[in-house]
Amino acid sequence: MPQRVAFVTGASTGIGFEAAIKLSKAGMVVYAGARRVEKMEPLKAHGIKVLPLDVTVEASMKAAVDLVLAEQGRIDVLVNNAGYGSYGSLEEVPLDEGRRQFEVNVFGLARMSQLVIPAMRAAGSGRIINVSSIGGKMYEPLGAWYHATKFAVEGLSDSLRLELKPYGIDVAIIEPAGTDTEWGTIAGESLLTVSGQGPYREQAGVVAAALASTSGTALSTHPRIVAGAIAHAASARRPRTRYPVGRGAWTILALRRVLPDRAFDMVFWNAYKRFAA
């Protein structure tokens, strides 16, 4: 049997970086793509091939997929990890930024899937792993655009799972809680830039502190843990449809399922109050 081939997007840092290493250690041929190619240099020591990839640029996505197919003749696993968090009040975030959030988090993921599906379908097998978030099931103030994209990823993935099942292609969703990466810090800084001085400044301070708590604190989960869930989804004979992972992920999702909206709102704000000091 030939080695399975995996392609990981958003692999310059954090979850994507660690997932590429995990998949390589699992015996796969791994390609890692990101805009910041220099950040992926350490992956080469693991035998991982790195390439430039911008999931908002059609030519970049097509060139990357074509390269992998030309060199390997197959793509068995696609990990759609590229994404970022755009925070700020809906009133203050420019619509162009909202569109960019969808371009990266949803349309980039969808286009990468479109590009690999024909080869997977021809092979009669494949695995598409979409990195969503517990934010695809719950919500925060000042995170409307981000949460909208993750809700979209959840629905897109469920529909895609059904339509690809007859062709032997599995679709799995990874739902991390707060992860110890640069994501939370960057999202919090962006939030304060947009809404830190205006009418939403009080909320912005609380939410930005909560986002920052996902970086380097006991409340965060190391990206290697999330990468482990990705590796399981990539290699399991029958992967789960969803993988909630990280500290508090199961608890938060369980509360969201059983509590009415107003009760969940109250739980949310009580939990976030500790960041206000």
Residue 7 bridge partners (DSSP): 31, 78
Decide if 68 contacts 5 (C-beta within 8 A).
yes
Which of the residue ranges 160-164, 190-194, 246-250, 270-274 has the most confident prediction, judged by mean pLDDT? 160-164
Identify which has the larger pLDDT, 218 or 267: 267
- pLDDT digits over 86-112, tens only? 999 999 999 999 999 999 999 999 999
38 pLDDT above the threshold of 60: yes
183 pLDDT above the threshold of 80: no
244 confidence band (pLDDT: 50, 70, 90): very high
Dihedral angle of Cα 159, 162, 167, 171, to the nearest 10 degrees: 70
| pLDDT value, residue 219 | 61
Average pLDDT of the residues of the chain: 93
What is the average per-residue pLDDT within 65-90? 96
**Which pTM was predicted?**
0.93
208 confidence band (pLDDT: 50, 70, 90): confident
Task: Give me the active site residues, please.
Answer: 146
Name 232's Cβ contacts closer than 8 Å, sequence gap at least 6.
239, 243
| pLDDT value, residue 94 | 96
- pLDDT digits over 115-156, tens only? 999 999 999 999 999 999 999 999 989 999 999 999 999 999
DSSP of the chain: -PPPEEEEES-SSHHHHHHHHHHHHTT-EEEEEES-GGGGGGGGGGT-EEEE--TT-HHHHHHHHHHHHHHHS---EEEE-------S-TTTS-HHHHHHHHIIIIIHHHHHHHHHHHHHHHHT-EEEEEE--GGGTS--TT-HHHHHHHHHHHHHHHHHHHHHGGGTEEEEEEEE-SBSSSHHHHHHHHHHHHHSSSTTHHHHHHHHHHHHTTSSSTTSB-HHHHHHHHHHHHH-SS--SEEEESTTHHHHHHHHHHS-HHHHHHHHHHHHGGG--
What is the average per-residue pLDDT within 230-250? 94
| pLDDT value, residue 272 | 72
Share of the chain above pLDDT 70, in %: 96
